[in-house]
Each structure stands twice: as structure tokens, then as C-alpha cells.
Amino acid sequence: MKKLVSVIFILGLLFSPAISSSTAVPEAALQPPSSSQSRPAAPDNPFFKPYGTPFNVPPFDLIKNEHFLPAIEEGIRREQAEVDAIVANPEPPTFENTIAALDHTGIFLSEVNGVFGALQGANTNKELQALARKTAPMLAAHRDNIGLNEKLFRRVKAVYDRRASLKLDREQLFLLENTYRDFVRGGALLDEAQKARLRELNQELSLQSVKFGENVLAETNAYKLVIDNQADLAGLPGSVVDMAAETAKQFGLAGKWVFTIQVPSMTPFLQSSERRPLREQIHRAYFMKGDHDNELDNKEIAKKIADLRRQKAAILGYPSHAAFVLETNMAKTPERVNAFLKQLWEPTLVKAREEAAALKALIDRQGGGFKLASWDWWYYTEKLRQEKYALDDSALRPYFKLDNVRDGIFALCGKLYGLKFIAKPDLPRYHPEVQVFEVQEADGTHTGILYMDFHPRPSKRSGAWSGGFRRVWYEQGKRVPPISTITCNFTRPTADAPALLSTDEVETFFHEFGHSLATLFSQGRFRNRSVARDSVELPSQIMEHWAFEPELLAVYAKHYKTGETIPAALVEKLERSSLFNQGFITAEYLAACILDMAWHTLPNPAAVDARQFENQVMGGIGLIPEIVPRYRSTYFSHIFSGGYSAGYYAYIWSEVLDCDAYEAFKEKGIFDRATAASFRKNVLEPFGTDDIMAQYVRFRGAEPKIDGLLRKRGLEIKK
Ligand SMILES: [Zn+2]
């Protein structure tokens, strides 16, 4: 079905693993602070005492901004003390006293950071931003203090060198190899001068990344399209007008209509506004974010980050940051990623050109008398969609009430895995809009807790992502259940209607839910995981395949007023139009992937002009001017303030896996419990505790083929 490459940050920055690793899935681990350690005199700080909440969730009602800094400082102190104890152990190094012991350090800090990172992304304020600027370099230094600790590394290496004779099982060996590898990649083999330089680079990188993200948020909040003349609402459906009226109220502009450059506000405007100059204005505001040559400009910061990363890679012995990053991914090298992207780019560009020609023809038929521009694409695409398929977004939305979609996902998880979801309205939350659910297995066993936060706010970063306050781990053999989060920027309810989602938003919801399932199902004796970045979208993207399956739509897609199930004719139209506009969707995504790879293989980023460089890269692949890359450099948060540098291609790389994996369900029936059980057992539960390809083959019986992806995107080479 319709494929939007959903935006997701796997907490790249939010949670940092104990040692500097680019691949460990960095989620929050927690435990209430242990009572055995000294506590500072901070009787009111909720981080310093047992939470005393149901399921031990963070006591958001008690946590104040001022509690974070002392708790982070204490977390750093404790983790350092735990590491010092490992180093000081007079016993010779063993797997247990070194590798497993290291795996269990920093739990208190992860807990605090998990809460801090989640609020920073979803509910920030000036104070938290200032705190992030202060703590980012502190945490970077702390990670280096562990990663570059020579005595610690000597113990790790001593175990690693004897690994063949230690009779370790697969999980232990995987942890050992990754721990050793992460130390080496963190600089453990460097000389003192190089280590000192690496520390400086890490400090600077941590600061620049925070600044980049802050600028994007400020630039997103800085623009409003205020309409006070009803005639300028021409073409907009009633629901979109209502939404703009609500937004105006939020900004104290009751009686007017406001559109922002948040996707749920901007996209419906671009799709239906008849006022071409206004479409141009709002779209320009969107794609010029961070590129205004003002104090929020991100051009120099992007260059700086790319250059710092290049220097870091050089010290570590890699020709580029991309080469450094990709070493631990499935793809392994920039050459392989570039070849993969090129293979997809060529047929995509052909399709995108055909689509542009069709839009131009439509403009001419209507006597438009102007050239197609990027701000026209959505508008004429919707017109053409109606012409070809008699289908429009606003006719579908009534069937996608947010609560119904959520319950549809719950139902799917019930069918596949037997899960049950129990609303917990009384648990503490960080914002009144957040929904909290307990997740249970079919037999009532507690699986974990899920927080969901759906709508945009000026305090929230744009996009959608899944994270967590706590990852699963075992404390003396007892499972400590995970707490997962889903944060989105979906269409808000209005005075007259509940939140009615677009098909893109429905797909994004399924996507993020897939990440959460991986967190909730996660099993394994150790806390640290090493997930190849380019496989991380497998659990999320496979969920998208179910979103518009007629059998599942019949369960959840009910009209919000009448309760009527989505008519078969509408479902059929949705299916028939699944390849419509795929050239555009794939082209804008691939263009961003190629831009990411270009920045991170550039020999001297400091010497380029950021805007020119971007134009040159886009010109080099022949991107047509009517399409803007999905992210331009100045607001490409995934790569400059998230964990996706040299990794934005991960979505489409993972898509090879998820398309192939879904075939298994199609072969046996899309709700087949045995296939689901095998997927859970072989892929989701051990995700990050073993080689992903080995896991995949255990599920599928063979390595994945690319055919499913090409079919889904309409990119099969016609012979
Ligand atoms: Zn994702």
C-alpha cells in the first residue's frame, strides 16, 4: 500500500549506551536507584528514591526541571564508580567479572537520561534546552572516560583474546565481540595525543548536534501562515478550515486561520489550497528552514558537524565518516550503499519524470499558464488522484479516527501475538495528552508499559519516533519489564470532530508501533544490544504492511459518525492507487539518502558552501527541480542531530527485509499465529543479541530477496 518513509529517530541522541557505540540500540535502561550507594542530600529529588509508582514508571508528577542536573551528575559519578570497581578487581579478567559486569553499569544514569531525553524531544522548554547544552558535553566526556579507559580496555581485551577457549554461548560471544569492537571504534587503540584530540572532537560534536536540533525547532515555530480573509481559504475542505481555526485559537488569534509548517497542518494546505502564492509561501517557509542566514541558520553547523565527523573518522583510521559508520551495518561499505541507491534511483527518476509530465499536462488542460513548481506537486497530485481513482484524502479520513486506528493496531497485535492492552489513565504522565497502556500476554502476564503522545506542540520536535524509558533486562534472573514510548505529530481533533488521520499518518502509527513491539518483546540476558542500523526498520516497516489490508480494515476502519465499516469500493480504490505518486515519494526520499551519503564521504566539508554543495549533489543525480529532497541539509535532523548519519538509507535497506518477511505472512495467511510466533522468537525477541542475517534466515529459511521491494514501489525493470 501507500508508502511513506516515516520519520523516526531511534533515540540516536536521546540515550547513550554506556560505552560509545554507534550500533548498540540506545534506549533507556533503568532501575530505581540502588539503596546500597551513597546518596546526596536531595530529599525532594524523585530520582534519588524509589519511585513508588505502579509498574515503577517515572513519577512525572514529581519530576521538575531542577531535578535533572543533580541526578545526571550523580548518575555519572555512580557509573564511574562501577567501572572503577571492575578495573580494581584483583581477580584476573573473566567474562563475568568484566564483560557482564560492564553490561550492568550505568543503570541509574540511563534511567535519568531516558526521562530527560524523552522530555527534550516531546515536551521541551527553555530550561531543558539550556540543560541539554550543559549536559551534552558532560555526557560525551563521561563516555570517553569509559571508552578510553586503558586499564578497563586491557581487561576487555584479555577476555576477548581468549574468547575461543572460554566456551561462551552465542549471546555471550556476541556481547563480548561487540564490546571489544565498540572500545576499538571508540578510540581505545589510539595513542595519548590522538585520544585527547578525539575527546575534543566528541565534546564539540555533542554541542553542535544539540544546537542544530534547537535551531530546527525554533525555525519550525517561527513561521505561521495567518489567514484573515475567508477568500484565501478557497479549496480547503471544512475539516482543514476547522483545524486552522483551532490552531489560530492556540496562538491567541481566534477568528482567524493559522497554518504552520508542521506536516499535519501544511500538507492538507498544499493538497487543497487554490491560492498558489500562499502555497508557495508556506512551502518555501518549510524547505528554507535553517537557511535564512540568521542566528538560527544551520548551514555552518551542518558543515562543522560533517567536518568534525570526518576528522574523527580519520583519527580512527577510516577514509570517511560513512566508512566508519557502515562497517557495523549490514551494508558494510559506502560503495555498497551508493550502488544500492543508484540501482533504485534510476527507475525512480524515470517514474518521477512521468509523474511530473502528467501534472504539467493537467495544469495545461486547466489553462494554468505556469510551470509546475514544488509547491504545486501536492495540489495537482490530489486533483489527478481524484480524476484517475475518484479518491481523495478527505473522503478517507473519517474512517481513520485516531482511537479506531489505535484499537485496530491493538486488535492486530491480539491476532498475531495474543497481546492485550489495558488503559492506565491514572499512571503519571509528562503531559495530559499522553495515553498510557499496560501490555499483557494472552495469559495475563505483564509484558510492559506503553506511552503514546500523538499531537504536535511547539514544545515537541517534528516527526514521529519510538523510544523508551526503560529497556528490558534481568536483575538477578528476574525480568525488569520495559517501558516503551511512541511520539508523533498527528492531526489534532477539532471542536467538531475527533482526530481523523491521513493514510500517511495511519501508516506512521503502525510503523512506530512496530518499533515498540521490538522493545516490548525484547529478550536476552544482557542490557546492551548491537543492532545493525540498517536493519532497525525491519520491525517497524513490517507493521506497515498490515495497515491497509482489507481484512484488517474491516476490523478497525469505521466511520467516526456512523460506525459504518469502510466500503469495499473505497478499499479497492485505495489498493488500485497504491503505486500512484510512488515516483515522487521514492525520489524525495532517495535524494535525501544520497545527500546524507554525500556529506559523510566528502573529503573536506569545511571548504564547501553548504547550499551550493547540496545543489551540486542534487544536480549530479538529475533530481528534477519540482522535487525538493525530503530533507534539505539545514533541517536534516536525522543525520545532524539524530542517530542516522550515513544511515538515512536504512529505511529502504530494511525494506528489502520487511517486504520479504511479509511474504511469509502472505504465504500462510496474514494473521497466521505460527508465522507470527516464529517472527517474534527468531527476530523480535533476540533483536540486537545476534547477527541479524542469521536471525532472519532462522525465520525465513533463506536470505531476503529484493523483488518484494521493487514490486511494492513499482520499480521493477520492465524487460
Ligand atoms: Zn522507524
Strand, coil or helix: 232: helix
Which H, E and C letters describe 89-135, residue by residue? CCCCCCHHHHHHHHHCCCHHHHHHHHHHHHHHHHCCCHHHHHHHHHH
Contact 354, 371 (CB under 8 A): no
Q: What is the mean pLDDT of residues 227-255?
A: 95
Contact 696, 703 (CB under 8 A): yes
* Rounded (10°) CA dihedral 552, 553, 555, 559: 170
Determine the distance separating the centroid of ligand 1 and the alpha carbon of 686, expressed in angstroms: 18
In angstroms, the CA 146 to CA 495 distance is 53
Buried b (16+ CB within 10 A) or exposed e, 363-389: beeeeeeeebebbbbbbbbbbbbeeee
Band the pLDDT of 40: cuts 50, 70, 90: low
Nearest to 270 by CA among 456, 502, 615: 502
Residues 6 or more apart whose Cβ sits within 8 Å of residue 713: 3, 344, 348, 579, 582, 586
Band the pLDDT of 477: cuts 50, 70, 90: confident
Contact 144, 199 (CB under 8 A): yes
The set of cell numbers assigned to 498 is 475527533
pLDDT of residue 476: 86
Determine the distance separating the centroid of ligand 1 and the alpha carbon of 682, expressed in angstroms: 20
Determine the distance separating the centroid of ligand 1 and the alpha carbon of 23, expressed in angstroms: 15
544 is catalytic: no
Determine the distance separating the centroid of ligand 1 and the alpha carbon of 247, expressed in angstroms: 28
Band the pLDDT of 718: cuts 50, 70, 90: low
The set of cell numbers assigned to 63 is 519530576
Longest CA pairwise span in the chain (Å):
84
pLDDT of residue 716: 79
pLDDT of residue 321: 98
Determine the distance separating the centroid of ligand 1 and the alpha carbon of 461, expressed in angstroms: 15
Nearest to 271 by CA among 262, 259, 279: 279
- Residue by residue, DSSP assigns 640-709 as HTSS-TT-TTHHHHHHHHHHHHHHHHHHH-TT-HHHHHHHIIIIITTTTSS-HHHHHHHHHSS---SHHH
Q: What is the pLDDT of residues 537-576, one digit of tens each?
A: 999 999 999 999 999 999 999 999 999 999 999 999 999 9
The H-or-E segment that residue 478 falls in is strand 478-480
In angstroms, the CA 657 to CA 707 distance is 10
In angstroms, the CA 662 to CA 55 distance is 34
Share of the chain above pLDDT 90, in %: 89
* Rounded (10°) CA dihedral 307, 308, 314, 318: -80
Give the pairing of strands 225-227 and 478-480. Answer: unpaired
Determine the distance separating the centroid of ligand 1 and the alpha carbon of 400, expressed in angstroms: 21
Determine the distance separating the centroid of ligand 1 and the alpha carbon of 709, expressed in angstroms: 17
Q: What is the pLDDT of residues 42-101, one digit of tens each?
A: 678 999 999 999 999 999 999 999 999 999 999 999 999 999 999 999 999 999 999 999
Determine the distance separating the centroid of ligand 1 and the alpha carbon of 516, expressed in angstroms: 10
Determine the distance separating the centroid of ligand 1 and the alpha carbon of 536, expressed in angstroms: 7
Residues forming a β-bridge with 666: none
The set of cell numbers assigned to 692 is 541479524
Angle at 549 between CA 544 and CA 552, to 5 degrees: 100
In angstroms, the CA 276 to CA 291 distance is 23
In angstroms, the CA 44 to CA 57 distance is 17
Determine the distance separating the centroid of ligand 1 and the alpha carbon of 472, expressed in angstroms: 19
If you average pLDDT over every residue of the chain, what do you get? 92
In angstroms, the CA 703 to CA 660 distance is 9
Which one from 214, 512, 544, 614 is the annotated catalytic residue? 512
Determine the distance separating the centroid of ligand 1 and the alpha carbon of 222, expressed in angstroms: 27
pLDDT of residue 717: 63
pTM of the model: 0.91
Strand, coil or helix: 260: coil
Handedness of CA 506, 508, 512, 514 (dihedral sign): positive
pLDDT of residue 41: 53
Residue 8 has pLDDT above 50, yes or no: no
Determine the distance separating the centroid of ligand 1 and the alpha carbon of 582, expressed in angstroms: 19
Determine the distance separating the centroid of ligand 1 and the alpha carbon of 203, expressed in angstroms: 28
Crossing angle for the helix pair 263-272 and 238-250, nearest 10 degrees? 140
